Amino acid sequence: MEQPFFLPRDYFTTEELVDLTQSLIRIPSHKDTPGQERDIAHFIHHFLQKHHIESVLHPVIDERSNVIARVMGNGTGRSLMFNGHTDTVLPYNMTVDPYAAEIKNGCIYGRGSVDMKGALACFMMTLIMMRRSGFVPGGDVIFTGVIGEEGKSEGTEYVVKSDIRADAAVVGEPSDYEYAVGHRGLEWFDVIIRGKASHSGRPDKGVNAIEHAMTFIQRVKQDLYPILKEKYDEYTGESVMNFGTITGGTEQSTVADRCVIRLDRRYIPGETKDSVMAEYQEIIDRLQAEDNTFKAEIRVTPESLLELYHPPLITSVNEPIVSAVRESIRDVIHREPTITRGIGWSDAALLKTYANIPTVVFGPGDLSLAHTEEEHIAIDDLVNGVDIYARLVQHFTTLPPEE
């Protein structure tokens, strides 16, 4: 009798998984890197090919490419997509070398270690183990290493608009042995307030856009915050917002003729980009009715968007992929995993909303370490991540195809 595939540690070593993760971390892929994800995409592509995995580079923007790899199934089961982003945020003021991939206290440190090059390494190792073990899944297992999730999600938007499809998907954002079937939608908005410049010695001759921005912020806190507190979804949590930045004026001796407030709005199922935008527009309209010198408009922040908006994720808990993820985690940690509601926005929402692929978020590592000055991932979490993904392939791709 053939040895079951769900004993994955027979087919890889911790050392090679650590080496792979370190190699990924050592390749910068943030927005200020020349070519951004170009080098890491080529590394992943050639690494998979070296291990006899079918892999193709799909150019998305200039030199920036997705990596699409596939292990073909035998047609008796369901197909599964692994989705992970190859870009990272900037290293900011990291207190460790962001690209040394140093090992300390059983963890690998560096930018992208937990968000999400650790998950990429686990996905890649899972495909490689399938080849080594001789396991043939019932349906195709597809790896999509995508660009731009930290920006406009150009990579997954490309996947959604292509003919790449699967019966279900897992997005590898770190979830600390929990999993998410839902998360809030996310849109960034600019509120542009226009005033009238004048010399600061005669402020009465001008209209101060900064002061009007203060009025707008106060009215949002007064009128909108109480409404947001009443909005809640079982699987995504509360509807929330944040004032992120405010810029305005030209110099201290001139009344500010322009001020821009940039805000982040996280919204739940039942809300849409248009409905949340309308909440701010209503406040603008009321302020303009009260004061004819108040001039403002709201728009989606241009650099946050390609074409598709960023809706909430909501995958039914009754979907087979949810049961398969839960069982796979439980098999490894020997307790019932819980659903997390603290996950940020992810490309999972694009896959579910625009490609109708039931999607779950699960990945190795602790989300609270992402984007931090000492970002790191535990080696044990990487090993367990491969174990869980391998078991997931076993659980899901052997299910009979949907009729």
DSSP assignment of 321-385: HHHHHHHHHHHHHSS---B-S-----THHHHHHHH---EEE--SS-GGGTTSTT-EEEHHHHHHH
CB 83 within 8 A of CB 153: no
Those residues with Cβ within 8 angstroms of residue 282's Cβ, 6 or more apart along the chain or in another chain: none
CB 193 within 8 A of CB 255: no
3-state helix, strand, coil in the chain (%, to 5): 35, 25, 40
Q: Tens digit of pLDDT per residue, the chain (403 long)? A: 344 555 667 899 999 999 999 999 999 999 999 999 999 999 999 999 999 999 999 999 999 999 999 999 999 999 999 999 999 999 999 999 999 999 999 999 999 999 999 999 999 999 999 999 999 999 999 999 999 999 999 999 999 999 999 999 999 999 999 999 999 999 999 999 999 999 999 999 999 999 999 999 999 999 999 999 999 999 999 999 999 999 999 999 999 999 999 999 999 999 999 999 999 999 999 999 999 999 999 999 998 999 999 999 999 999 999 999 999 999 999 999 999 987 889 999 999 999 999 999 999 999 999 999 999 999 999 999 999 999 999 999 999 998 6
CA distance 280 to 285: 9
Give me the helix-helix angle, 320-333 and 379-397, nearest 10°. 140
C-alpha angle with apex 31: 26 to 32, nearest 5 degrees?
A: 80
Max distance between CA atoms of the chain, in angstroms, equals 90
Gyration radius (Cα) of the chain, Å: 24
| Beta strand pairing call for 240-248 and 107-109 | unpaired
β-bridge mates for residue 359, sequence order:
169
Hey, what are 303's tokens?
Answer: 């650099």
Closest by alpha carbon to 124, among 41, 39, 3?
A: 41
pTM, to two decimals: 0.94
Contacts 24+ apart (CB under 8 A), 278-285: 279/224, 279/227, 280/189, 280/191, 280/220, 280/224, 283/216, 283/219, 283/220, 283/223, 283/224, 284/191, 284/216
Closest by alpha carbon to 159, among 145, 177, 175, 173?
A: 145
Closest by alpha carbon to 157, among 353, 356, 350, 358?
A: 350
Using DSSP, state whether 240 is helix, strand or coil: strand
CB 316 within 8 A of CB 183: no
Hey, what are 146's tokens?
Answer: 């995508």
Could you give the count of Cα atoms lying within 13 Å of 189 in the half-sphere of its Cβ? 25
Using DSSP, state whether 165 is helix, strand or coil: coil
Starting at the edge strand that comes first in sequence, how are the strands of the sheet with 240-248 ordered? Answer: 240-248, 258-267, 185-194, 295-300
Closest by alpha carbon to 356, among 397, 309, 305, 316?
A: 316
Hey, what are 337's tokens?
Answer: 């995993």
